[in-house]
């Protein structure tokens, strides 16, 4: 499998730090719950959390829509739910990549029913060319082309999550 580097580790680190500063500014004086979507966003969420200079808590949501394939099945299944209530709390849902918008739209609907004080979306990547359901992304790292991306938490068949940069899988379409 041939990988073509897209975004290097230093560019990712710089952008994640900027997002952390913006979130700090936006939520100054408030408590915040960061909700990473497992598994792909764990690296982004960990780095982002270290750049948020506020009182935060972290809870996780696990979902499955890809399985071990390169195309979403279109069916979102929650594999791990939040362990604490978010009612009345400010929440940022943290995604690795938003392409069709189906998963994040489903998760947004689900979380809104839990009555948070506010709910915003942070995503490392966005592929606007694949959008099927438009989603407002409040904190966005990078906009990317329609290629299959691995690294920095994103995988292909559970491989390549540990790369410190983002790369395109040359023989795959997203």
Alpha-carbon distance of 40 to 62, in angstroms, equals 10
Cα 54 to its chain centre, rounded Å, is: 20
Catalytic residue among 8, 55, 96, 99: 99
SS3 assignment, position 135: coil
99 is catalytic: yes
Q: Cβ(52)–Cβ(24) under 8 Å? A: yes
**Backbone φ, ψ for residue 6 (5° rounding):** -115, -50
Alpha-carbon distance of 45 to 140, in angstroms, equals 13
Calculate the alpha carbon distances from 1 to 156, 157, 162 in Å. Answer: 10, 12, 16
> Which residues lie closer than 8 Å to 124 by C-beta, 6 or more apart?
12, 16, 41, 44, 95, 96, 97, 141, 142, 152, 153
> Which residues lie closer than 8 Å to 14 by C-beta, 6 or more apart?
none
Please give the positions annotated as active site.
99
């Amino acid at each position: 499998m041939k990988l073509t580097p897209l975004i290097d580790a230093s560019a990712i680190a710089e952008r994640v730090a900027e997002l952390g500063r913006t979130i700090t500014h936006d939520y100054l004086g408030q408590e915040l719950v960061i909700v990473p979507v497992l598994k792909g966003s764990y690296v982004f969420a960990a780095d982002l959390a270290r750049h948020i200079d506020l009182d935060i808590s972290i809870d996780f949501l696990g979902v499955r829509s890809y399985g071990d394939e390169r195309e979403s099945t279109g069916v979102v299944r929650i594999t791990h739910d939040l362990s604490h209530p978010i009612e009345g709390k400010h929440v940022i849902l943290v995604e690795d990549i938003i392409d069709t918008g189906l998963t994040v739209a489903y998760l947004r609907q689900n979380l809104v029913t839990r009555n948070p004080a506010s709910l915003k979306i942070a995503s490392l990547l966005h592929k606007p060319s694949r959008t099927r359901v438009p989603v407002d992304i409040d904190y966005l790292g990078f906009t990317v082309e329609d290629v299959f991306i691995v690294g920095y938490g994103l995988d292909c068949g559970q491989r390549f999550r540990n790369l410190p940069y983002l790369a395109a899988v040359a023989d795959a379409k997203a």
